[in-house]
Amino acid sequence: MQPTLRQPEKDEGLEMPTFSPADVVHPVRDEFQVLSAHLRWRRRQFLPQAAPDCYFGVFDSFKAAHAWLHHPPSEFDQGAAAAEPADARSKRAFYYDFSLIWWLARALEHGASSVLDIGGSVDVRRYAMKRNIDAPDTLRWRVVEVPSMLPDKSLAAQNGAANLNFSENLHESFGTASEDIWISADAIHCSEDARPDQLLKKCVRRPQHILLNGLPLYKGEDFVTIQKIGEEAFAPVHVYDRAAFIQAIKALGYTLWDQWAAGDHAMDLRGYPERSFPSFTGLYFVDSERMFKRSKPLLS
C-alpha cells in the first residue's frame, strides 16, 4: 500500500514560518553587550592590580574617561599622594627637580620676587628648594591646589613660611595673578582645563618665567588616558602633542630657554606603543621681551 500525502483543506491555511530581522539583530546585539561587559570586567580586574603610576586606555575627554570608570568627576584626592605624610615629602628634592631648581635660582638672582606654584600640593617645592637655593626672605610664594591636597597651616608655620599663602580656585587665582614666576610640576596635565597658554590669557600680568616639570609630551595628537594614582584610585590625565604644546606658549611671546627629560616618569600605555614614550619633559620659558641680559637660550 502506497503512502498518501494529506492535502490541506481549502480553508486550512498553511502555517508558514515567520521571520523578522530582529531575530538576527537581537542575538548579535546581546552577544556584543555580553562581550563588551566582559571586556570592561577584564579591564577593571587589571586596574586594581596594576602598579601606581600605570596608565590605561585612550579617550578624547575627561568626561569619557570618567564615564568608563563609572564615577563622577572629583578632585585629585583619592590617591596615595594625598595620604603620604606631608612632612616626609617636604624634606628633600628629587634628582629630576634640579633643572627646575637651577633655573628658579637664576630667575631669583635676576630680580624675580614672587612665585605662583600650580598644583603645589603641600608646598613640597618651596620647602625642598629652600635647602638648595639662597632665596630672599621677601620671596612671596602662592600655591594653587585642590582643598584635599592643601597642607595643614601648622606645617607652613613650622617651616617659617611667613610669605606663603594658598588658593583653592584655579581660575579665580589666575584672574588676579601677577607673580614673576610660574611653577608647575606633575600637575598641569591632571587638571581638565589648565593648559598654560589658556591660563596665560586670563592673568592680569603675565609672568617673566614659566617652569614646567613632569609633562607628558610626545609626537602625536593630544589624548586623555587613565592613571592609577593610588590604591584603588584612578584619575584622567592629559597627554599633549609636544610641538603644539610648546608653540602655543611661544605664540604668546615666550622663548623656550631650556628643556630636559624627567626620567623618573614614563608613559607605558599597554596596547598603544605609538602613544608610549620613555620619559616626561621639563620646559623653561622666558618672556621674549624680558630675557636674561648677556645670555642666550640653551636651545638657540
Cell of 76: 585629585
Long-range CB contacts (within 8 A, 24+) of 242-251: 242/217, 242/218, 242/281, 243/219, 245/195, 245/215, 245/217, 246/217, 246/283, 248/195, 248/196, 248/197, 249/196, 249/197, 249/200, 249/210, 249/285, 250/285, 251/197
Domains of the chain, start order: 53-287 (3.40.50.150)
pTM score, whole prediction: 0.76
- Is pLDDT at 276 greater than 50 in this prediction? yes
Q: Residue 90's pLDDT band (boundaries 50, 70, 90)?
A: very low
Lowest-confidence region among 13-27, 141-155, 186-200: 13-27
Lowest mean pLDDT among 9-13, 67-71, 195-199, 275-279: 9-13
Q: In the chain, what is the straight-line distance between the N-terminal and C-terminal CA atoms, in Å?
A: 107
pLDDT over 50 (residue 243): yes
CA of 293: how far to CAs of 85, 179, 299, in Å?
42, 20, 16
Q: Which residue is it, cell 602613544?
A: 275
Find out whether 253 and 245 touch, Cβ atoms under 8 Å. no
CA–CA gap between residue 124 and residue 128 (Å, rounded)? 6
d(CA 263, CA 163): 32
Q: Which three cell numbers stand for residue 207?
A: 609672568
Q: CA quadruple 277, 282, 285, 291: dihedral positive or negative?
A: negative
Model confidence band, residue 204 (pLDDT cutoffs 50, 70, 90): confident
Identify the DSSP state of 6: P
The per-residue DSSP string of 84-132 comes to S-HHHHTS---GGGHHHHHHHHHHHHTT--EEEEET-TTTHHHHHHTTT
- Structure letter (DSSP) for residue 263: T
Q: Which residue has the higher pLDDT, 295 or 76?
A: 295
Instruction: Judge whether residue 222 has pLDDT over 70.
Output: yes
| Cell reading at 282 | 621639563
Task: Please state whether beta strands 223-230 and 55-59 pair in parallel, antiparallel, or not at all (unpaired).
Answer: antiparallel
Q: Are 211 and 182 in contact (CB under 8 A)?
A: yes
Residue 89: pLDDT above 70?
no
Average predicted confidence (pLDDT) for the chain: 76
Based on DSSP, count helices (H) and strands (E) in the chain, helices before strands: 10, 11
CA distances from 63 to 43, 59, 66, 176 (A): 18, 9, 5, 29
Distance CA 54, CA 266 (A): 9
- For the chain, the maximum distance between any two Cα atoms, rounded to a whole number of angstroms, is 119
For the chain, how many residues are written?
A: 300
Q: Which residue has the higher pLDDT, 102 or 20?
A: 102
Place of cell 630667575: 107
